[in-house]
Chain A
Amino acid sequence: MELETLLYILVSGLVLGGLYALMAIGLSVVWTTIGVFNFAHGTFVALGAYIAWQVSSSLGGAPGFLLGAVVAPVALFMIGYALHYALVKPFERNPNIVLLSVITTLAAASIIESMIQLIWGPREKQIEAPVNGNLEFAGLSFSAQDILTFVVTLFILAALAWFLKRSRTGRAMRAAAQNREAAQLMGFNVTHLYALTIGIAAATAAIAGLFIGSIRFINPTFGVDPLMKSLIVVIFGGVAHFTSPILAAFIVGLIEAFSVYFFGLYWAPSILFGLMIIVLLIKPEGLFGFQRKTL
């Protein structure tokens, strides 16, 4: 194999990994904060992509994409916030909350999926990319859209990390995640903080949807694949640290890129799931995990 090919695979793996990180971080933040596994996360990605498509196609070009990048996350933030009150909060004091929320989030996923089908129809759509052409760099040429995706993804992840670590609300969210009762005794409105968490997760999912929608086709069931990928990432990396799913996402992205090249597109999922089973067998808490669940 030539060095050039290797570099191309590496870059496409990193771009893919960035997108997976963006999808998985929402899932892992919700899991570590509320203790709920959000099966609707994949449909958040799909819904975000459709809303972005709707907005951007009416305006077109780069301004349309930009408008979509604003409207979709904001809309999904509000939807996520509201869904916490409908899906999770009613079971707050139920000992079976984990199981019940699996069912309610699955239900929400299928309702949202059907709604997408009703509103936008089953035809495949694609969001118009904001930048075209290639960037030449040291004799190699990379798709400008890929580079944009990668840079924006890294920026959003860094912003999220800053928010959780440094901002007042982010710290409060971490406090509520680590000890619900103590956070309540300090006077935090924990329900609001939890809803905020789902809202932020949904907003990041929308951004992921926007970028995936601009490199692939979107259809109403398109949320399934992102959910699977984030699931693999979260299991792969564990959720002990904010960075563990991010690192895992890049590893998964690279593995996928390399297995697509060496074994073909159809073998990539099998290889990923095979690796996931191996990780589950030898290190069930994830590659970068500990046996604790915090932010």
Chain B
Amino acid sequence: MTESLLEIRHLSGGYPPVQVFRNVNLSLFPGESVGLFGPNGHGKTSLMKTLAGLIDPWDGDILFGGKRLNLPGKMKTRLSQHLNYDIFRRRRIDPASVVREGLIYVMQGNLLFPEMTVDEVLAIAPSAAGGRPGIQQMQKQIHALFPRLKERRNSKIRFLSGGERQMVSIAAGLLAMPRLLILDEPTLGLSPKMRLELGAAIQAIRETGLPLLIIDQNVEFLCSLIDRLYLFDHGTITRELDSNHMPDHEQIMSLMFESHA
């Protein structure tokens, strides 16, 4: 068995004092595309934000490419609720170093930077991640993937449609030269036509061999893009399905309901 690219072990977290997810175990292998499916409001996005370093994990390990991204051990609760001065508290995970490692999270319904133009966003995207090699080739690839963005290069993000905004988000994620790209509900609230267009683009990205972790509410759409599926329910992973057992909408509903019983 090859070594996994992303390994999450017994991860728990949330917004203190509310725990959102607990004991999450997940692994992702190089070249693989994995899906995560679960009901709204059960903590999928909080889990992804924790992976990206926006929220401190409470306990457990996040290993990426064999390297630990978070501080080991349990998060200590603060000494006093009334002590506001947080200068001595260490972050348990640093979003900048997560990006430098190549784990890129494309946020759900990302509004990006409303007053910046498409070109400006795509210009700053690579520099933040430390400018890995292959950027120029990636830029060409992005133009091929999203021809729409070339037309709208001088419009401000605020004037783009939801789908175009999602395209900019994904393009910016790709320009960071990821080793793993996490797409959080890329087709949320999009028209069927736009969904097809975006689906084709994601499929094309998958075919380049870039590992993907995709979250989506549409089972058929999701299953067409992945090799393996995790079901996520009530703040933890309840089931793992491989490509031979990809469920349709009916099956997944019964699976989700079974796990409740």
Contact = CB atoms under 8 A, between A and B. Distances in A.
Please determine whether chains A and B interact with each other in the same assembly. yes
Contact of A178 (B84, B96, B114): B114
Interface string B177-199: 00000000000000000000000
Nearest to B127: A168
B172 interface: yes
Contacts of A89: 86-87
A179 B114 CA distance: 8
Q: Per DSSP, are chain A's interface residues mostly helix, strand or loop, or mixed?
A: helix
B95 interface: yes
Contacts of B113: 174-175, 178-179, 182-183
Given A86-B87, A187-B128, A189-B96, A182 B107 contact: yes
Nearest to A189: B96
Interface in B121-156: 121, 123-125, 127-130
Contacts of B124: 168, 171-172, 175, 186
A294 B114 contact: yes
> What's the interface size class on B, roughly?
20 to 34
A92 B89 CA distance: 12
A93 B53 CA distance: 14
B115 A295 contact: yes
Given A175-B124, A182-B113, A187 B176 contact: yes
B84 A94 contact: yes
A181 B120 contact: no
B224 to A, nearest CB: 26
Contacts of A66: none
Given A171-B116, A171-B120, A187 B99 contact: yes
A119 interface: no
Nearest to B124: A171
A181 B113 CA distance: 10
A288 interface: no
A188 B128 contact: yes
Nearest to A182: B112
**Best-surrounded residue of B104, B112, B123 (most CB of chain A within 10 A):** B112
A106 B134 CA distance: 49
Contacts of A184: 52-54, 95-96
Interface string A149-176: 0000000000000000000100110110
Contacts of A294: 114-115
Interface string A184-207: 111111000000000000000000
Contacts of B112: 178-179, 182
A271 interface: no
Interface string B76-90: 000000001111000
A198 B96 CA distance: 21
B110 interface: yes
A129 interface: no
Nearest to A294: B115
Interface in A49-108: 85-86, 89-94, 100
A188 B113 CA distance: 13
Nearest to B87: A90
Nearest to A93: B86
A1 to B, nearest CB: 43
A94 B116 CA distance: 28
Interface string B44-70: 000000001110000000000000000
Contacts of A175: 113, 116, 121, 124
Given A185-B52, A186-B172, A189-B96, A174 B116 contact: yes
A35 B206 CA distance: 40
Nearest to A186: B128
Given A89-B86, A175-B116, A185-B52, 16 more contacts: A90-B87, A91-B84, A94-B86, A174-B115, A178-B113, A179-B114, A181-B107, A182-B107, A182-B111, A182-B112, A182-B113, A184-B54, A185-B54, A186-B99, A187-B95, A295-B115
29 contacts: A85-B87, A89-B87, A90-B87, A91-B85, A92-B86, A94-B84, A171-B116, A171-B120, A171-B123, A171-B124, A172-B124, A174-B115, A174-B116, A175-B121, A178-B116, A179-B112, A179-B114, A182-B111, A182-B112, A184-B95, A185-B95, A185-B104, A185-B105, A185-B106, A187-B95, A187-B96, A187-B100, A188-B96, A188-B128
Interface of A: 85-86, 89-94, 100, 168, 171-172, 174-175, 178-179, 181-189, 294-295
